[in-house]
Amino acid sequence: MGWNSWNAFKLDVNENRIRSVADSIASNGMKAAGYQYVVVDAGWKYASRASDGQLMADPNKFPAGMKSLADYIHSKGLLFGLYTDAGEQDCDSAGPGSKGHEKLDAQTFAAWGVDFMKEDWCASEGLDAQTAYRAMSEAILETGRPMLLSVCEWGDHQPWNWAPSIATMWRTTGDNEACWDCGRDTYQKAGGYPRGWTLILDAQIPLARYAGPGRWNDPDMLQIGNQPMSLAESKAQFSLWAVLAAPLVAGNDVRSMSGEIRNILLNKEVIAVDQDPAGVEGTLVEKGDGWNVWARPLADKSEAIVLFNRLTNPQPITFDAPSIGWTSSTPFQVRDLWEHADRPVSTGTFRGVVAPHSVIMIRATKTRDPEPVSVR
């Protein structure tokens, strides 16, 4: 869990901004809730390398340098993430890429105190994705500094097949924009941008089995708190990303967020689902016209269930216990994870009226095994 500069600030990053974001995360409840990494995305680099080949921070944006920023973030009890690219150039031509400089760049990041490296895939023509990311993974290992590798090649080369052994997380799609389903028309094409988050959600359905503890599908950073996402949509994205066992990376300006957005990002019961120790990714278990039921099995044998309304009017949605392998006579306790309330025990089904573009999220826990049927 963490925060990344891209969705809120794009290339407009600088040390004062990042320091004040770290101050907010350390004091507004986010750190206590588990948000750990403060990640500076594209926009931090100087346009060329130093004469010895080292990457340099843009001195206008980061006059005190990256080591100093890392020290500051560490002094807040947080971890520091930094961006690079596997190709010739960062995305948006924001600086030199790491192609052919993996060892030096990993050493530089390690010397600065970086804990998390996001490696993008722009200007990568002619590269083999697996080989390129493996080179960086090995370079990181050689530094001796624990540094999480976040592979960001947008799912173009099925990273779920090869990234689990070399990285902690891998992007599964192109970028998540702050919209419901924008990009519908281009989304099947490689590099089809932008993408509303519901399209990204649907692309995760076949991928659940590739995730597990220490190896995560990454459906991209959250757009919660960024316009034009509504509060209902924000709550829905948070719930579904938790069911997906996704890295929860806030992407808003956390220094100025509303109380409602803060309450979404800090919902401890939903975060507990995301961070469940069994590390099983959930998936779609039932669907109909404009509605879904998503479910994720949890370590204590309970299930996180999300009733998801994709329509613009309220609709009743029913979860059927057999969709997750429980019987239709299974009694289960119901905990509403947004209302923070226990509901009456349900048997076999749970039904709720779900607001437009929103969710009801529950934790369902079997009360006991059903009575054996008596045979006379």
Rule CB under 6 A: which residues touch ligand GLA?
Answer: 6, 41-42, 91-92, 94, 120, 152, 175
Closest separation in Å from C-beta 332 to ligand GLA = 39
Closest separation in Å from C-beta 371 to ligand GLA = 52
Q: Which of the residues are catalytic?
A: 120, 175
Closest separation in Å from C-beta 42 to ligand GLA = 4
Residue 117 and residue 149 in contact, taking contact as beta carbons nearer than 8 Å: yes
- State which residue, 58 or 92, has the beta carbon closest to ligand GLA: 92
Q: Please name every residue paired with 121 in a beta bridge, in sequence order, or none if there are none.
A: none
- State which residue, 120 or 303, has the beta carbon closest to ligand GLA: 120
Closest separation in Å from C-beta 279 to ligand GLA = 23
Question: Cα–Cα distances in Å, from 121 out to 152, 157, 204, 223, 228?
Answer: 6, 11, 20, 21, 27
- State which residue, 14 or 302, has the beta carbon closest to ligand GLA: 14
Residue 91 and residue 56 in contact, taking contact as beta carbons nearer than 8 Å: no
Q: Please name every residue paired with 308 in a beta bridge, in sequence order, or none if there are none.
A: 292, 359
User: β-pairing, 291-297 with 283-288?
Assistant: antiparallel
- State which residue, 43 or 282, has the beta carbon closest to ligand GLA: 43
Closest-CB residue for ligand GLA? Answer: 91
- State which residue, 5 or 346, has the beta carbon closest to ligand GLA: 5
Residue 269 and residue 254 in contact, taking contact as beta carbons nearer than 8 Å: no
Closest separation in Å from C-beta 67 to ligand GLA = 22
User: β-pairing, 291-297 with 79-85?
Assistant: unpaired
The Cα 56–Cα 29 span in angstroms is 33
3-state SS, residue 366: strand
Kindly state the helix (H) or strand (E) to which residue 311 belongs, with its residue range.
Answer: none
Task: Tell me phi and psi for residue 170, to 5 degrees.
Answer: -145, 135
* Amino acid of residue 38: V
